[in-house]
Amino acid sequence: MSEHLPLLPILLPLIGGLLLLLPPLASTLERQRFGALSIATLTLLSSILLLQQSAAEGIQLYVLGDWQPPYGIVLVADRLSTLLITLTSLLGLASLLYACAGDDRTGAYFYPLVLLQVMGINGAFLTGDIFNLFVFFEVLLIASYALLIHGGGKQKTQAGFHYVALNLVGSSLFLFALGILYGTLGTLNIADMSTKVAALSEGEKVLAKAGGLLLLAVFGLKAAMLPLHFWLTRTYASASAPVAALFAIMTKVGIYSIYRVHTVIFGANAGDLAFIAQPWIWPLALLTLLAGSIGALASPNLRELTANLVIVSVGTLLISVALQNEEATSAGLFYLVHSTLVCAALFMVADLISHQRGKAGDRFVMSRKVRQPILLGSMFLIAALAVAGIPPFSGFVGKVLLLQAAQNAAEMFWAWPGILLSSLVTIIALSRSGTTLFWRRSNDKSQADPASRWQVAAIVLLLLGAPLLVVLGGPITEYTAAAAQQLHQVPDSLHLLLPGGES
């Protein structure tokens, strides 16, 4: 069974999502809830087992149909991919828990769509082939289109149209890039491409560079990198809370893809094409930080503020990509896990605040007092302190690690002001929002229902990451350091990644 473990995080949500469309699971909402939560729990357990296996035994390769790479479809379960599928599976379970409070009643096929989205994201993290990365991108995007407009409404439909149109353009550019790279390298297996890119002729290098930079644009769109970030705020703010929480991992798929392509293929071993994206990523990372910070200050409500904080996290992660060293990648992975969990929790907290403030929702205006000020205030405070990087929570550790990864004066000159100033802006924006939401209130009592135990359980599950990442900081940073080493030192793993090809 252990040899099939890399397939389970994809197979379980796929089969589970299809079964939820059929009787007897499709008969009642209670059965759908039980089935979805059971499948999500099994997916999380299989992801944890795979993470432990990859840490203990090294890279796990799953070759479909026994067609050895670079010719067949292959799944690569290394430390990086297993960390991210575990994060995705945890986020999927938390989103399903939150939806059990009633968000699943607003439209059809919610649970199958969530499971299919988890399947697509897990597949994108596990694939060792860029074409299959495109396939899994399309799977997760199709599911996200339906989830975004789940429950209907003018705002969701408008945001959904923009989101679909932009991603269709991105998918077309993705195919153009794949055609260019396949035509020059003769393969789309990531490990195989890394062995061939340095040996290209001068004319082929020009084409490969064009293909690589086109992929940077595609992944930048998925990650919401400036100037391709403008779709994110309205899209995430209009989605329902469990969907927005799940979407918190989707920008990280774009960041992960940039890590894979521009560290493995166009990394240190690419000859003349080494680090072709670095001159572009540096200014774009800082401008993304700036755009997210300005957006956070200008946000009229907590949902849009949280969406802009996602953009800030993308800019911070792009700095870790631009630094191009193992320490920065390790710090970036730690920060990626932290920011995903905290932003997802903050979307859920914003939804609870919105329901309990009446017509004012989560807008930064005077309104009636929330029904559960201590509960919601405590959850907001923990999330705000963590996302702003205030000790002793995980955001502080992640940002300190990133600052330490800047190894020379030039890197410090660009990285330190961007990270520190964005943290200051985040503190100001969240301080303003917290004082408005909880202190500027009328004497009217809230008539809203209290938060469901499902909702509280989901938020607590996500917020536990903020202190646990600090308490377990030693083993976690050791793990991320080993994952970064695997990513940067590809030649050492070629005998595992290309057992049927030339290494």
- For the chain, how many residues are written? 503
Under 8 Å between Cβ of 144 and 247: yes
Per-residue pLDDT tens over the stretch 69-81: 878 889 999 999 9
Name the phi and psi angles at 464, rounded to 5: -60, -25
The lowest-confidence range among 268-277, 280-289, 311-320 is 268-277
The pLDDT value recorded for residue 162 is 82
The lowest-confidence range among 37-51, 174-188, 480-494 is 480-494
* Mean pLDDT for the stretch of residues 11-19: 94
* Mean pLDDT for the stretch of residues 183-190: 92
What mean pLDDT value characterizes the chain?
Answer: 90
Q: What angle do CA 394, 122, 292 make, to 5 degrees?
A: 45
Query: How far from 1 is each of 9, 49, 123, 267, CA to CA, in Å?
Result: 14, 12, 19, 35
Token pair recorded at residue 401: 């690690």
Under 8 Å between Cβ of 255 and 318: yes
What percentage of the chain has pLDDT greater than the value 90? 63
Residue 44 — pLDDT band, cuts 50, 70, 90? Answer: very high
3-class secondary structure, 87? helix
Under 8 Å between Cβ of 255 and 315: no
Model confidence at 64: pLDDT above 60: yes
The lowest-confidence range among 156-160, 161-165, 228-232, 387-391 is 156-160
Per-residue pLDDT tens over the stretch 384-408: 999 998 988 998 999 999 999 988 8
Per-residue pLDDT tens over the stretch 209-249: 999 999 999 999 999 898 888 888 888 988 889 999 999 99
Per-residue pLDDT tens over the stretch 292-323: 999 999 999 999 999 999 999 999 999 999 99
The pLDDT value recorded for residue 160 is 78
Residue 446 — pLDDT band, cuts 50, 70, 90? Answer: low
The pLDDT value recorded for residue 359 is 83
Residue 503 — pLDDT band, cuts 50, 70, 90? Answer: very low
Model confidence at 338: pLDDT above 80: yes
Model confidence at 501: pLDDT above 60: no
Model confidence at 444: pLDDT above 80: no
The pLDDT value recorded for residue 375 is 93
The lowest-confidence range among 221-225, 441-445, 475-479 is 441-445
Residue 123 — pLDDT band, cuts 50, 70, 90? Answer: very high
Query: How far from 50 is each of 330, 390, 485, CA to CA, in Å?
Result: 20, 33, 19
The pLDDT value recorded for residue 351 is 93
Q: Which helix (H) or strand (E) holds 349?
A: helix 326-356
Q: Is the dihedral of CA 467, 387, 385, 397 positive or negative?
A: positive
Whole-model pTM: value is 0.94
Model confidence at 500: pLDDT above 70: no
Buried/exposed code over 473-492 (b: 16+ C-beta within 10 A; e: otherwise):
eeebbebbbbbbebbbebee
Q: 92 has which bridge partners?
A: none
Domain boundaries, the chain: 1-276, 279-495
